[in-house]
């Protein structure tokens, strides 16, 4: 693996705004991604698991291929290094937190390499600015602040990077969560959705 350019990582991280200044969306992020996708999409689902995204986006898919290391489900690829083809959408929903940092870079680089020009990468990760999101799953291995993930994407050549906070449900507790998050300098959105264009 090529080593991470820590100087550039630090430089790009200065472009990242305070987390609560990024927009918040309610509801299912899978439906949001489906709305963003163009018809006849060629999709690569990295960490495809049960291929739930295929069902969500069935009306827009021309080609759907999936990768996962779990061989209990049928996938097109079981090694990140064996992935081939060209795609205009790559999905990484809830996968990067489970990888070592060196593998995070490898997976992002592979995504960039197989995307068509102007293709879109969608990533969902735990929001480390949320007090418990990163710790709710014992399989989480890498602590990925939004500013560092943003910087890695910039280093790889991605552009038009959009950060969206998500995972919040509208209920009577929401106003209190907003107040407490400002007072404690944390965030009440448990996840970040990142959209990046090649």
Tokens standing for residue 35: 């709305």
Asked if 70 and 139 touch (Cβ cutoff 8 Å), the reply is no
* Residue-wise pLDDT tens digits, 153-165: 999 999 999 999 9
Determine the average pLDDT of the residues in 33-42: 83
pLDDT the model gives residue 54: 82
Residue 57 pairs in a beta bridge with none
Across residues 31-41, what is the average pLDDT?
Answer: 82
**Average pLDDT of span 172-182:** 80
* Domain residue spans of the chain: 6-197
**CATH assignment, 6-197:** 3.40.50.150
Beta pairing partners, 197:
120, 159
SS3 57: coil
In the chain, % of residues over pLDDT 70? 95
The pLDDT assigned to 2 comes to 63
DSSP for 137-192, please give it. -TT------HHHHHHHHHHHT-EEEEEEEEEE--STTHHHHHHHHHHHT--S--EE
**Residue in 195, 110, 182 with CA at minimum distance from that of residue 146:** 195
Least confident of 19-28, 43-52, 92-101, 177-186: 177-186
Mean pLDDT of 2-28: 86
Task: Note the helical H segments in the chain.
Answer: 6-13, 29-36, 52-56, 101-114, 146-156, 174-184
**Torsional class of 70: left (φ above 0), alpha (ψ -120 to 50), beta (otherwise):** beta
């Amino acid at each position: 693996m090529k080593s991470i350019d820590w100087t550039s990582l630090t430089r790009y991280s200065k472009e990242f705004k305070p987390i609560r200044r990024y927009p918040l969306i309610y509801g299912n992020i899978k439906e949001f991604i489906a709305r963003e996708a163009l018809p006849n999409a060629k999709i690569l689902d990295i960490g495809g698991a049960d291929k739930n995204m295929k069902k969500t986006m069935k009306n827009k898919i021309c080609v759907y291929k999936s990768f996962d290391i779990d061989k209990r489900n049928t996938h097109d690829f079981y090694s990140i290094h064996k992935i081939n083809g060209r795609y205009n959408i790559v999905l990484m929903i809830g996968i990067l937190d489970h990888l070592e940092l060196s593998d995070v870079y490898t997976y992002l680089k592979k995504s960039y390499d197989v995307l068509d020009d102007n293709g879109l990468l969608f990533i969902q990760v735990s929001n480390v600015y949320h007090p418990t999101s990163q710790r709710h799953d014992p399989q989480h291995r890498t602590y990925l602040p939004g500013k560092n993930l943003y910087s890695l994407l910039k280093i790889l050549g991605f552009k038009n990077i959009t950060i969206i906070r998500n995972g919040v449900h509208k209920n009577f507790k929401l106003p209190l969560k907003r107040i407490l998050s400002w007072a404690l300098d944390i965030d009440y959105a448990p996840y970040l959705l990142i959209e990046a264009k090649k």
